[in-house]
């Protein structure tokens, strides 16, 4: 999965690999965007469902009390 990150390394004059940190971070962030958007959408759906449940539950007519039959 992370093989594409290792290909962005450059080699210095002494032969040691030096990663291009900015490119690696950009690739990592871009890879995380779909998961982040999915989690954000799930949070919005849960918040809307919770609000709807509370809103409509409070608007239901209360059951008749014992004095209502008289």
What is the pTM assigned to this prediction? 0.52
C-alpha–C-alpha distance, residues 63 and 39, integer Å:
39
47 lies in some domain: yes
67 lies in some domain: no
64 lies in some domain: no
pLDDT at 1: 47
Give the chain's domain count.
Answer: 1
* For range 3-16, the mean pLDDT: 57
pLDDT at 35: 97
Coarse DSSP helix, strand, coil percentages of the chain, rounded to the nearest 5 percent = 65, 10, 25
70 lies in some domain: no
68 lies in some domain: no
C-alpha–C-alpha distance, residues 67 and 64, integer Å:
8
C-alpha–C-alpha distance, residues 5 and 25, integer Å:
9
65 lies in some domain: no
Q: Give 22's pLDDT tier (boundaries 50, 70, 90).
A: confident
* Domain carrying residue 55: 3-59
The tens digit of pLDDT for each residue in 23-60 reads 888 999 999 999 999 999 999 999 999 999 998 888 77
């Amino acid at each position: 999965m992370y093989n594409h990150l290792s290909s962005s390394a450059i080699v210095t004059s002494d032969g040691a690999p030096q990663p291009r940190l900015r490119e690696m971070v950009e690739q990592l962030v871009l890879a995380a965007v779909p998961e982040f958007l999915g989690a954000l959408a799930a949070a919005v759906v849960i918040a809307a469902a919770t609000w709807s449940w509370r809103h409509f539950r409070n608007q239901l007519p209360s059951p008749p009390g014992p004095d209502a039959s008289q």
